[in-house]
């Protein structure tokens, strides 16, 4: 009798186990673009996004949300057709989509385990870096740079959401996304930058991240028509704003050294007309960037009389007005020829 009872008990337990397994084995097919959140709430952090239609195991249900397993991730997703993160979260200032879905999918495919998606200083960070203290330090520096430049130039325009920052753990993966030296990648109007962890420590990673986000800051603040020379100069200033211990004054950093190039030094007119060649890799691009940064620092030096007029010029751009050559000459009260002479003298003192 005791042996029979034990057999029945084992059989009963086995049936319960099979029933439990059957109940837990529910699967659903989520569409490409479905986003996994930490909690069943669109305002909670987004962990990752499905790049293709995928059959996933359902771990739990709540209202119209399902908690699923996707690779190494466990998160909540809606079964409905996917929408953008900004549209999903809503709000009065939801902008147009600044980043093509194909570009986002390409980037995510290069991230380890698909990466994760988290809010980052009013932008969206997509990364496979798991060093949380480093990510917190990077975000703190971006916020500090935003506040510093806002104080310096009296620019109080809020950062418009919609920009993406891709931070790769692998340098090779970042290179596959876009062979660019700096600045936004993808079609004109895209607000996305990418970089990889620097192999020689956190400080170089911090400086490069600030420079890259500085490009986004220029476009967010001054619009997509911001001249390339202003964008590059603001990216350089963003680094200083995020690393300087004081927000009250411009640190007297050494001017960048112009690398050797077969091309003659550009004129002021050439700098303000610079196109995509400003962001190219190689000696010519580096030389042009060095001259551009020097010219921007010259106009931004608070110890020189051109600082306040130049600040008014930048504020003009934040109001949606064009930042062209006539506007620059009018704001400074000086022709390009006059600027050429005074800037060359300033450049010579820094060499």
pLDDT (0 to 100) of residue 83 = 66
Q: Which of 88, 106, 132 is the last residue of a domain?
A: 88
Residues 210 and 185 in one domain: yes
Q: How many CB atoms lie within 10 A of CB 284?
A: 14
pLDDT (0 to 100) of residue 248 = 46
pLDDT (0 to 100) of residue 12 = 53
User: HSE on the CB side for 183, CA within 13 Å?
Assistant: 26
pLDDT (0 to 100) of residue 188 = 52
Q: Which of 88, 116, 135 is the last residue of a domain?
A: 88
Residues 257 and 135 in one domain: yes
C-alpha 52/C-alpha 126 separation (Å) is 17
Whether residue 190 contacts residue 101, with contact meaning beta carbons closer than 8 Å, is answered with no
pLDDT (0 to 100) of residue 92 = 46
State which residues form the domain around 41. 25-88
Please count the structural domains in the chain. 2
Residues 162 and 247 in one domain: yes
Q: Which of 37, 53, 88 is the last residue of a domain?
A: 88
- For residue 80, what are its two tokens? 């409905």
Residues 101 and 82 in one domain: no
Q: How many CB atoms lie within 10 A of CB 121?
A: 21
Residues 84 and 118 in one domain: no
Whether residue 305 contacts residue 311, with contact meaning beta carbons closer than 8 Å, is answered with no
DSSP code per residue over 155-184: --PPPPS--EEEEES-HHHHHHH---SSS-
Residues 228 and 148 in one domain: yes
pLDDT < 70 regions, the chain:
1-25, 82-102, 157, 159-161, 178-190, 245-253, 259-263, 349-351
pLDDT (0 to 100) of residue 182 = 38
Whether residue 135 contacts residue 129, with contact meaning beta carbons closer than 8 Å, is answered with yes
- For residue 60, what are its two tokens? 């739990």
pLDDT in tens, 239-251: 999 987 554 455 5
């Amino acid at each position: 009798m005791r042996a029979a009872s034990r057999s029945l008990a084992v059989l009963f337990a086995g049936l319960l186990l099979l029933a439990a397994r059957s109940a837990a084995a529910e699967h659903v097919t989520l569409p490409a673009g479905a986003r996994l959140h930490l909690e069943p709430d669109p305002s909670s952090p987004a962990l990752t996004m499905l790049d293709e239609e995928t059959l996933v195991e359902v771990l739990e249900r709540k209202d119209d949300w399902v908690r699923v397993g996707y690779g190494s991730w466990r998160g909540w997703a809606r079964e409905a057709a996917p929408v953008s993160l900004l549209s999903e979260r809503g709000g009065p200032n939801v902008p147009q989509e600044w980043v093509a879905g194909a570009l986002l999918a390409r980037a995510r495919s290069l991230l380890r385990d698909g990466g994760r998606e988290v809010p980052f200083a009013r932008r969206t960070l997509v990364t496979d870096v798991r060093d949380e203290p480093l990510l917190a330090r990077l975000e703190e520096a971006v916020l500090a740079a935003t506040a510093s430049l806002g104080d310096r130039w009296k620019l109080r325009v809020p950062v418009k959401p919609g920009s993406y920052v891709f931070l790769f753990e692998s340098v090779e993966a970042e290179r596959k996304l876009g062979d660019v030296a700096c600045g936004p990648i993808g079609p004109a109007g895209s607000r996305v930058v990418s970089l990889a962890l620097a192999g020689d420590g956190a400080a170089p990673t911090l400086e490069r991240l600030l420079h890259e986000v500085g490009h986004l800051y220029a476009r967010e603040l001054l619009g997509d028509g911001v001249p390339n020379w202003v964008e590059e100069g603001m990216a350089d200033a963003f680094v200083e704003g995020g690393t300087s211990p004081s927000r009250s004054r411009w640190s007297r950093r050494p001017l960048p050294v112009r690398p050797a190039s077969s091309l003659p030094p550009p004129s002021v007119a050439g700098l303000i007309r610079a196109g995509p060649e400003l962001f190219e890799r190689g000696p010519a691009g580096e030389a042009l960037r060095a001259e551009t940064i020097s010219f921007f620092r010259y106009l931004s030096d608070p110890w020189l009389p051109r600082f306040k007029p130049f600040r008014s010029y930048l504020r003009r751009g934040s109001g949606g007005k064009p930042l062209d050559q006539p506007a620059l000459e009018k704001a400074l009260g000086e022709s390009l020829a006059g600027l050429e002479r005074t800037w060359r003298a300033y450049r010579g003192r820094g060499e």
